[in-house]
Chain A
Amino acid sequence: MESVPTSYYIALSGILFALGMIGVLTRRTAIMVFLSVELMLNAANLSLVAFARAWGDLVGQTAVFIVMTLAAAEVAIGLAIIVAIFRKRETTNVDDLASLKG
């Protein structure tokens, strides 16, 4: 079976990453920002797996597993924070949450 070239994976990863970044920068809802961050994480995962396959090395795969477990934990905490903020402020609009202004 002809394998897909690594560069394709990297390109896809780049596109996903860019989409995620645009989402982070443009969306105002905390949930959407959060989803975009997840997208960026997975873009990075994709490139790690792709390189791992290209080099025939398991280190990249291992890293992905660690990132995935961490991401799961992060999702749990992040969502909890968002819920807590919503309860307190009745909004998830990140532009309204600027009380840490220096």
Chain B
Amino acid sequence: MALYWLPLLPLIGFLLLIVGGRWFSGTSGGWLGSGFIGAAFVVALVRFFGLSDVPAHETLWTWLPNMALGTGGVSANLNVGFYLDQLSSVMTLVITGVGFLIHVYSISYMREDARFTRFFALLNFFVAMMLILVLADSYPLMFVGWEGVGMASYLLIGFWFAGHKDHNAADGVNNSNAARKAFIMNRIGDLGFMLGMFLIYKVFGTLVIPELAGQEGTLAVTSRPLIELICLFLLVGAVGKSGQLPLTTWLPDAMAGPTPVSALIHAATMVTAGVYLIARSNFFYDLAPGASMWVAWAGGLTALYGALSALNQTDIKKILAYSTVSQLGYMFLAVGLHSYTAAIFHLVTHAFFKALLFLAAGAVIHALHEEQDVRKMGGLAKSMPFTHIVSLIGVLAISGIPIFAGFFSKDGILASAFAQNIPLYLIGLFVAFLTAFYMGRWYFLVWRGEYRGDTKLHPHDGDAVLSAPLGILAALATVGGFLNVPSFLGGGHVLDNFLGRAIPVHEHEILASTEWLATLIAVAVALAGLGWAFYEHRRRALQVGPLGQFSFQALYLDRLYTAVVGNGSKVISRGLDTVDNGVDGAMNGIVSNVGAPGWLVTIWQSGFVRAYALSMLLGTALIVGYWALKAIGGGL
């Protein structure tokens, strides 16, 4: 199977569903859309098993002028081309695999929506773009997927642009605003990505990734500040797409979209594109210690920011959203420390357990008829036993309790931080504690205690279509960690070794005893967090007081942006509009001054025919007189 089948299959699904939306009645459109993703998953599996040490590189047709290297140093036109190595292969498996499960889940979740088929069209479009992003052989093509997923995210966050169900006006405005905010903040990052590409082109004369990676000689002699600058530009792009500080505030708002969207786009796949970008550009980052430190600190601080903001949220999805911000911070921390494989490992396990948590939250929201406030939940463990069990697995996984997936992947990141940068390690450890606490709080508020909501509702587990993906994801979140068991626990670093054939693995020399100790500390911290949550929230719902408010408002970052950037740019825009009228006015002023003498001439144009006749007479007389004088005077 050629690589282009991977994005092409979902794209065909998208075209069929968007053009022929009316042909598919009932849930047939959903099954069709899921089928295309399933087929893409099969292709991804086939290509995964066909991988060798030589990456597959398939080029298609000419696309951009002058942006690749031709023979003899002459620039050639850039082709659309796909590239598959171990890194992109893992990504395609996650995207199509988790994507397929979420598609199936959506068939049940979105069943009653009037635009059911449209939803699947957009989901298919998203998967196609995401696959282009990870399979691209050049930065501009990656940018196609990059902005394409942004576009899909925009359309899906704003899926209920007119309000959900009852066409509630305020709801519609909120959803639309969230979508627009996501797109615009992504655009800020995208400009950074573009500037990075421009600089890469200026230095290396090509934007094709394998060509760049192959230029070891040029890379080695290129001045360090240039490489650092390239990496910083790319970091801006990655930060925008992955909701890292300072471009983080769009991601919690993005929860305005339907829950499967939050699971697929804003947890499992799209937001990890920034991590992928940096891992893909490892040949630059390995040469840029300064920029890498920036990446690591951006990640560390975002992890902290997300965790602090998640502590006191009331919306069941917002808690998970801030948790996603925080977990992405972990991944950035890891890539910043050049532990690319650890970051990708966490990316994979996070896709499992965060998708699981979101889908479980969706099942709860569904069962409670669109109720999202955790203060009005509680005690659901009795009425929704299956969803409760899978949620518990998700909570244990994200908290880093042993044998669950999150334990291994988070431990890998903490170990590499411990070996390289103690302040970042301490931040990571603290965030692990906070994570266990707020996820514990989430769990206790939703599932334990007494039911505090509307007593007319009778929540129950979803149907088989809704539950099957939850079960599979719960299984993956349980055993996913065994992909990459570290050697001190008797494992073989399977994923590290696999990815190591494509991206560099930097081994850290830590004594096994130290590593044991670090792991025990991490587990103790996680247990402490869960215990504290149990103590605090067995009965009580919300922290009040200034600190609680500080957390609830997400450290007031969003308000700050709205006040300074949002309002600022509006004011400037109106100002410029006035200036533009002023430019117009200035031009008019010049024109009227230049034209002023013209009024003198108009006096002559009296409108009286006889005056014109007289003018003609005088004029003729003058001319004749001139010639006559000339004739008489002999050329005076």
Contact = CB atoms under 8 A, between A and B. Distances in A.
Q: Do chains A and B touch in the complex (CB under 8 A)?
A: yes
Interface of A: 21, 24-26, 33, 94-95, 97-102
A25 B608 contact: no
A95 B617 contact: no
B617 A101 contact: no
Nearest to B620: A21
A40 B474 CA distance: 110
B597 to A, nearest CB: 14
Contacts of B606: 98, 101
Shortest 9 CB-CB contacts between residues of A and residues of B: A102-B605, A98-B607, A101-B607, A102-B602, A94-B609, A100-B607, A24-B613, A98-B608, A25-B610
Interface of B: 601-610, 613-614, 617
6 contacts: A25-B613, A26-B610, A33-B609, A94-B608, A100-B607, A101-B605
Nearest to A27: B610
Contacts of B603: 102
Contact of B610 (A24, A99, A101): A24
A97 B605 contact: no
A77 B415 CA distance: 104
A86 to B, nearest CB: 15
Contacts of A97: 607, 609
A33 B612 CA distance: 13
Contacts of B607: 97-102
A94 B607 CA distance: 10
Contacts of A94: 608-610
Contacts of B604: 102
Nearest to A99: B607
Contacts of A21: 617
Nearest to A33: B609
A57 B362 CA distance: 109
Contact of A95 (B601, B602, B605, B608): B608
Contacts of A100: 605, 607
Contacts of B605: 100-102
A21 B615 CA distance: 12
Nearest to B608: A98
A24 B610 CA distance: 7
Most chain A Cβ neighbours within 10 Å, of B603, B605, B608, B614: B608
Contacts of A101: 605-607
A26 B613 CA distance: 10
A94 B602 CA distance: 19
Contacts of B613: 24-25
A98 B605 CA distance: 10
A58 B601 CA distance: 45
A25 to B, nearest CB: 6
Contacts of B609: 33, 94, 97
Given A33-B609, A98-B606, 6 more contacts: A25-B617, A95-B608, A95-B610, A97-B607, A98-B607, A102-B605
A6 B515 CA distance: 133
Nearest to B609: A94
A97 B602 CA distance: 17
B602 A25 contact: no
A40 to B, nearest CB: 10
Nearest to A28: B610
Nearest to B599: A102
A25 B616 CA distance: 11
A99 B606 CA distance: 9
A14 B288 CA distance: 101
A30 to B, nearest CB: 8
A99 B609 CA distance: 11
Nearest to B610: A25
A97 B609 CA distance: 8
Nearest to B602: A102
Contacts of B602: 102
Contacts of A33: 609-610
A35 B610 CA distance: 14
Contacts of B617: 21, 25
A89 to B, nearest CB: 14
A94 B606 CA distance: 12
